[in-house]
Amino acid sequence: MQSASDALRNVSDALMRDLEALVAAEQEKRNVAPDDPRLVKLAAEVDEIARRVLGLSEQQQDIAEDVHAQATEGGPGAPTATIEENAHRAIGVILAEWRAAERDATAAPVGSAEATAARAKADELREEYRRAYEAHRR
C-alpha cells in the first residue's frame, strides 16, 4: 500500500506535468488564427487539462491534510521528508514508467492534449531517471 507521503509526491508530479501541458497548449492556442479549426480543438484541450488540474489540486489538498496531521501527531512512520526529498523510487520502476510514457506520447494524436501530457510525463521521468542514476553512481 502506498504511504500518504508517496501519494502526495505522485499527485504533485501529476499536477506539475498537467500544468506544463496546460501552458504548452495555451501557448500554442495563442498563436492560432481565429479561422483555424485548431483554435476550437486547442481550447477544448486547455479546458480538459484545466479540469484535470482542478481535480488533482483537490486531491492534493486532501492528501496534504493527512500528511500534515500524521507529521504533527508524530509517532513511528510519521512523514518528515519534503515532497522533493520523498523521491526514493526504484530506478527500474522509473525506467518502466518512462518507456510507457514514451509509447503513450508516440501513440497519441499529434498535437493533442494527450500527446502534450504524455510528452511532459516522459520528459519528467527522463529527468527523474537521470537523478536516480546519478545518485546510484555516487
pLDDT of residue 91: 83
| CB-based contacts of 45, cutoff 8 Å, min separation 6 | 25, 112, 113, 116
pTM comes to 0.65
List b or e across 11-24, with b for residues whose CB sees 16 or more CB atoms inside 10 angstroms.
bbbbbebbbbbbeb
Four-residue CA torsion sign, 128, 101, 25, 11: negative
Tens digits of residue pLDDT in 70-113: 999 987 778 888 887 766 667 888 899 999 999 999 999 988 88
| Cβ(63)–Cβ(4) below 8 Å | yes
Tens digits of residue pLDDT in 8-33: 988 998 898 899 889 989 999 999 99
Residue with cell 506520447: 105
